[in-house]
A and B are shown apart, each in its own frame.
Chain A
Amino acid sequence: MEQIPLEHILLLSAVLFSIGVLAVISKRHAVVVLMGIELIFNAANLNLVAFSRHDPTLLQGQMFSLFVILVAAAEAAVALAIVLRVYQYFKTANLNEVSTQE
């Protein structure tokens, strides 16, 4: 099997990262902002796994990306619980309308 060039993986992860940043900045529904954060996590993980290919005995990149996936799962659970509470309290999940100040 031929090697995938490292630059192409890094460029793919850069594209995914900036799409995630765009989602976080430009979307106003809290769940879509969470989706953008998941895209950013995946971009970071892709870099870790790509460099771990060159580290076949220690596998530090793959171990680190395992823990990143774990923490991302915990983060998604807590964040969605908070979004549900916010929705029940404010009757909206739109981040611009969630405000207690008049």
Chain B
Amino acid sequence: MLFYLFAILAILSAAYVVLTRNLLYAGFSLLITLLSIAGIYVLLFADFIAVTQLMVYVGGVLVLILFGIMLSSRVHNKSVLSESVNKVWGTLVAGLILVGLSYAILKANVASLPWLQTSEVDVLGNQKSRVQSIGIKLMTDFVVPFELASLLLLIALMGAAYVATEKQNA
């Protein structure tokens, strides 16, 4: 089944992000994780979110991260390495979080929640894709967060460009 293929791919590549010491390998492994999560979004009937994930994460954030790796490491090093510390404590904390979350998920029995049972029937309705309803919602119910988000993006990108520029008198 396609979902489990994507899930295993996402988990393995995410684990490789942590396990490898080479920063570039970690970046490209994160690429595989983000791509498989986009595939899972498609399987969950979220086509617009999947496209946004591809455009923003794979096309934007990952390129930024790769630029960050290239610019924040010495050139004479053949491969860019990252040391890891706190291995025991980190594994312990992450393992405890994983065990706690899995216990809670398995114990909560989410699939039998009443509102999930009632709304299970009409998954896609009579529409082919979610793009139209998301567009209508963005311009009606969610117009204030939409405009605020555009303002936030403008401010953040201007601030990032300002912070990253070399200042003459610094």
Identify the A interface with B (CB < 8 A).
Answer: 2-12, 14-23, 25-32, 34-36, 38-39, 42, 45-46, 49-50, 52-56, 59, 62-63, 65-67, 69-78, 80-85, 87-88, 93-94, 96
Contacts and interface: CB of A to CB of B under 8 A. Distances in A.
A74 to B, nearest CB: 4
Interface of B: 1, 3-4, 7, 10-11, 14-15, 17-18, 23, 26-27, 30, 33-34, 37, 40-41, 43-46, 48-49, 52-53, 56-57, 60-61, 64-65, 67-69, 71-73, 82-87, 89-91, 93-95, 97-98, 101-102, 105-106, 110-111, 115-116, 119-120, 122-125, 130, 133-134, 137-138, 141-142, 145, 149, 152-153, 156-157, 159-161, 163-164, 166
Given A15-B14, A66-B52, 5 more contacts: A19-B15, A22-B91, A62-B46, A72-B61, A96-B85
A93 B68 CA distance: 10
- Describe B's contact surface by its main secondary structure: helix
A28 B82 contact: yes
Given A62-B130, A63-B142, A83 B72 contact: yes
B97 A85 contact: no
Given A27-B82, A35-B26, A62 B14 contact: no
